[in-house]
Amino acid sequence: MPYFDAASSAPLHPVARQALLASLDEGWADPARLYREGRRAGMLLAAAREAAAEAVGCRPDELVFTSSGTEAVHSGISGALSGRRRVGRHLALSAVEHSSVLHAAAALEAEGGTSTEVAVDRHGAVDPSAFGRALRPDTALACLQSANHETGTEQPVAEVAALCAAAGVPLLVDAAQSLGRGPVPDGWSLLAASAHKWGGPAGVGLLAVRKGVRFAPRGPAGDRGPGRAAGFPNLPAIVAAAASLRAVREEAGAENARLRALVDRIRAEVPRLVPDVEVVGDPVRRLPHLVTFSCLYVDGETLLHELDRAGFSVSSGSSCTSSTLTPSHVLKAMGVLSEGNIRVSLPDGTTREDVGRFLEVLPGVVAGVREKLGAPAAASPSPAREAPLVVDALGRRCPVPVIELAKVIGEVPVGGTVTVLADDEAARLDIPAWCEMREQEYVGEEPADRGSAHVVRRLV
């Protein structure tokens, strides 16, 4: 049963499992204690810190383990902001950062600080010079992910780091998605990552803070001395995390190339096998193992369920799969289609056969969902009609507004317009995305009594 959601959580690496088991017996005592059980635990902790520091490319005393990647991001951002409070309270970040970074930015704003989200292009990458322009005299910190968790697009970290260095602004790099796959470009001031993304256990994150970076931990002090995380260290999991990081990094050379070829195949085949699909994210500057595409006229939640029934575990940035019923902020920032969205992220060891079977199953699953929803066939132009049309999709959720639009577009004379009334948040993203895919013109959004009126002009 292939699991294709490694970007959410990777199955435990065999090395992590072994290290965890071994240190359950050796590493349960408090490493701060002077007796033998404590000394043994202390040695395990020191060795784990050294191994992790080597993988990260920093000194062991620049690195602490946290209880999750989220905690690493939160304490990294709050510590760096506090450390530079005299400079100002402005945070620069890309619009496609992980939610943990966005939540930290929101917390800063709630406390009276400000932040600037740097826009991304259609592939989801920031433009370094645009990022540079977001750096202000009062910017305390900049945040940029090494690669995006939903699209795999790599960010220009080295270029942005150079601009930050020139402006004297520390840069926090969220390397959660990439650290297991290879080195992070140089120039970061703080780096955060999460073990269960590289096949380590849950419950372990890491935060590296370069010497010389102003850092003032917030909240209650810990017992473990300055720069140490508060609370008792989760030692067996830390040992397992460090061991598996080393192991996956050693395997990454061969495995990255293999997975990149499999993803290339998905990127090439999906649009050939499934009509009306948009593959998103940078085709070249990307993580090796991750690909995202969106299917017109498809409800993401049903698609996930059908793929799950067929044995494939994937995730989605569609609005119908989120608790807030809004599409993923990443897809939104990119301005790409969000309906019928699927993220495939291959764990190490995924076979050609697994991918082949996925490509066999997918077209039928998508077609089945479309049929249930009454989506229009790929090419079914109807005779033209006279009057401007209004399609009422109020109260209907994604992908229905787009399906209703697609059904009537053939009735609109070329050059004429159709107006779609919709109150689903995803329509804002998906109607313009449909227009771009179909080479029609998205005229714009007008306020309406309820929801919005989206005006579309038929061009072809």
Positions in the binding site for its own copies (CB under 8 A) = 1, 3, 5, 8-12, 17, 20-21, 24-25, 28-30, 33-38, 67-71, 74, 78, 99-100, 103-104, 106-107, 194, 196, 201-205, 219-223, 225, 230-237, 301, 304-305, 307-308, 312-315, 321, 323
Q: Kindly tell me which of 69 and 170 has the beta carbon lying closer to its own copies.
A: 69
Q: In sequence order, what are the residues at sequence separation of 6 or more whose Cβ sits closer than 8 angstroms to the Cβ of residue 211?
A: 59, 61, 62
Q: Which is nearer to its own copies, 301 or 392 (CB)?
A: 301
Terminus-to-terminus CA distance in the chain, angstroms? Answer: 44
Please, which residue, 104 or 336, has the CB nearer to its own copies?
104
| Shortest CB 288 distance to its own copies, Å | 21
Rounded CA-CA distance 241/243 in Å is 6
Q: What angle do CA 123, 126, 127 make, to 5 degrees?
A: 110
Q: Is 121 exposed, middle or buried (0-12, 13-18, 19+ CB in 10 A)?
A: middle
Cβ closest to its own copies, residue 178 vs residue 234: 234
Q: Which of these, 358, 373, 350, lies nearest to 301 by C-alpha position? A: 373
Shortest reach from residue 231's CB to its own copies, in Å:
3
Q: Which residues contact 285 (CB under 8 A, 6 or more apart)?
A: 123, 125, 153, 154
- 37 or 159: CB nearest its own copies: 37
Question: Can you tell me the distance from the alpha carbon of 123 to that of 121, in angstroms, rounded to the nearest whole number?
Answer: 5
Minimum CB–partner distance for residue 416 and its own copies (Å):
41
Closest approach of Cβ 212 to its own copies, in Å? 24
Tell the smallest beta-carbon distance from residue 103 to its own copies (Å). Answer: 4
Q: Are 205 and 255 in contact (CB under 8 A)?
A: no
Instruction: State the minimum distance, in angstroms, from the CB of residue 24 to its own copies.
Output: 6
143 is catalytic: no
Structure tokens at 64: 């602490």
Interacting residues of 418 by C-beta distance below 8 A, sequence separation 6+: 388, 389, 390, 391, 405, 408, 409, 412, 455, 456, 458
Q: How far is the CB of 16 from its own copies (least distance, A)?
A: 9
Residue with tokens 């050379």: 253
Of 92 and 125, nearer to its own copies (C-beta) is 92
Closer to its own copies by CB, 321 or 419: give it: 321
Residue by residue, DSSP assigns 328-384 as -HHHHHHT---TTEEEEEPPTT--HHHHHHHHHHHHHHHHHHHHHHTPPPSS-PPPP
Q: Minimal distance in Å, beta carbon 172 to its own copies?
A: 14
Three-class SS state of 275: coil
* Torsion angles phi and psi, residue 175, rounded to 5: -100, 25
d(CA 265, CA 33): 54
Residue placing its CB nearer to its own copies in the complex, 35 or 449: 35
Strands of the 114-118 sheet, one edge to the other: 63-66, 205-209, 190-194, 171-174, 139-145, 90-94, 114-118
Given the residues 143, 320, 398, 435, the one annotated as active site: 320
User: So which residues are the catalytic ones?
Assistant: 320
